[in-house]
Amino acid sequence: MPATRTLKVCAKCNKIKRIEKFMPDRREADGFHPICETCALMAAGKGKIKRTKKKCPICEQILPVSMFYRNAGKSSNDGLSWHCKRCHKTLVSVTVRGKPDYYNRKSREAQRIRRAAPGCISEEEKLALFDKYERKCLCCKRPEGVVELTIDHVIPIYRGGENTLENAQVLCRGCNAVKGDKEHEYRPEILAQSR
CATH at residue 132: 3.40.1800
pLDDT on residue 171: 92
DSSP line for 6-72: -EEE-TTT--EEEGGGEEE-TTSTTSEEEEEHHHHHHHHTTTSS--SEEE-TTT--EEEGGGEEE--
Question: What is the CATH number for 3?
Answer: 3.30.60
pLDDT on residue 38: 82
Q: Which range (36-50, 71-85, 99-113, 177-191) has the least confidence?
A: 99-113
Q: How far is CA 31 from the centre of its chain?
A: 40
Nearest partner of 150 among 181, 124, 129, judged by Cα: 129
> Does the pLDDT of residue 93 top 80, yes or no?
no
The DSSP bridge partners found for residue 22 are 36
Q: How far is CA 187 from the centre of its chain?
A: 34
How many domains are contained in the chain?
A: 2
- Domain containing residue 36: 1-51
In a domain, 76, yes or no: no
Residue 151's H or E segment, with its range, is: strand 149-153
Helix (H, G, I), strand (E, B) or coil at 54: strand
Decide if 50 contacts 35 (C-beta within 8 A). Answer: no
Torsion of CA 27, 30, 33, 39, to 10 degrees: -160
Torsion of CA 132, 135, 137, 138, to 10 degrees: -20
CA gap 181, 104 in Å, rounded? 19
pLDDT on residue 96: 43
Decide if 43 contacts 36 (C-beta within 8 A). Answer: no
pLDDT on residue 3: 53
The angle subtended at Cα 128 by Cα 127 and Cα 132, nearest 5°, is 120
Rounded to two decimals, the pTM is 0.45
Average pLDDT over residues 124-151: 90
In a domain, 123, yes or no: yes
Residue 176's H or E segment, with its range, is: helix 173-179
Q: How far is CA 194 from the centre of its chain?
A: 41
In a domain, 35, yes or no: yes
Task: Identify the band that residue 169 occupies on the pLDDT scale cut at 50, 70 and 90.
Answer: very high
In a domain, 102, yes or no: no
In a domain, 65, yes or no: no
64 residue type, one letter: P
pLDDT on residue 105: 59
pLDDT on residue 107: 65
In a domain, 71, yes or no: no
39 residue type, one letter: C
In a domain, 149, yes or no: yes
Task: Identify the band that residue 48 occupies on the pLDDT scale cut at 50, 70 and 90.
Answer: very low
In a domain, 72, yes or no: no
Task: Identify the band that residue 157 occupies on the pLDDT scale cut at 50, 70 and 90.
Answer: confident
> Does the pLDDT of residue 47 top 50, yes or no?
no
